[in-house]
Amino acid sequence: MKQKKLSDQALMKLLDIDLPTLRRFQQIQKDTIKEAKSLIKNRKKKIKVLGISGSARDEFDMAQESSNSEALLKQCLDQCKKSGAETELISLRKHNIQHCKACYSTTNTQCHFHCSCYPKGTKIADDMSNIMYDKILEADAIIFATPVNNFKISTLMAAFIDRCISLD
C-alpha cells in the first residue's frame, strides 16, 4: 500500500508543530532509517518477529467474521517478512494459558521462570510454560494486537501479559 507524501506545511498543521521541530523529526527519521539499514546489513541472522493476537474470534465463531485486529497484525507481519524478517503469528485463542496466581505481588521470591505455578514439562504445565516463554525469548521483536473489549484489552491478552511476570 503506497502512502501519499504530505508537504511540510501539511505535516506542520497536522502535528501542530513549527518548522524547526519538523526538521528535527525528519532528521531523527533519516538517522533511524540509516541506523536500521546498517544493523540489517551487518546482521548475521534474520530478525525474528513474533506477532501475538489476543482476539478470541475467527471466521468459524458465532460472528462468522475474522478478527480485525488479527487481520491488521497479519498485514504488519507480512511487511516484516518483506523486509527480510522471519515471522510467526500466535493466536492466543488456540492455546491453553492458565491465569496468573499473582505470587509475585506478595511473595516474589516464589515467582520463578518458567513459572512456579505451572512448571515446564509437568502435567500441570500449560502452553505458556511449555511453548510461549521460549518463543518470547527467541524473538527480537514482538508485536501485540488485541481487540478492545469493554474499554480494555482482551482477557486472552491480559492473561498472556500477566503470565509474562515470571520473565522478570
Domains of the chain by start residue, with CATH:
47-57+64-167 (3.40.50.360)
**What is the rounded average pLDDT for all residues in the chain?**
88
Percentage of the chain beyond pLDDT 70 is 95
Query: How confident is the model at residue 3, as a pLDDT?
Result: 64
Question: 10 Å Cβ neighbour count for 106?
Answer: 8
Query: How confident is the model at residue 2, as a pLDDT?
Result: 61
Q: Is the pLDDT of residue 1 over 60?
A: no
The 8-class DSSP code of residue 111 comes to -
Closest CA to 168 of 133, 138, 139, 140: 133
Ordered alpha helix ranges (H), 7-132:
8-15, 19-42, 68-82, 103-107, 127
Q: Is the pLDDT of residue 107 over 90?
A: no
The Cα 97–Cα 117 span in angstroms is 12
| Helix pair angle (19-42, 8-15), 10° resolution | 100
The pTM assigned to this predicted structure is 0.71
82-103 as b/e, with b when 16 or more CB fall inside 10 Å? Answer: eeebebebbbbbebebbebeeb
Q: Is the pLDDT of residue 41 over 80?
A: no
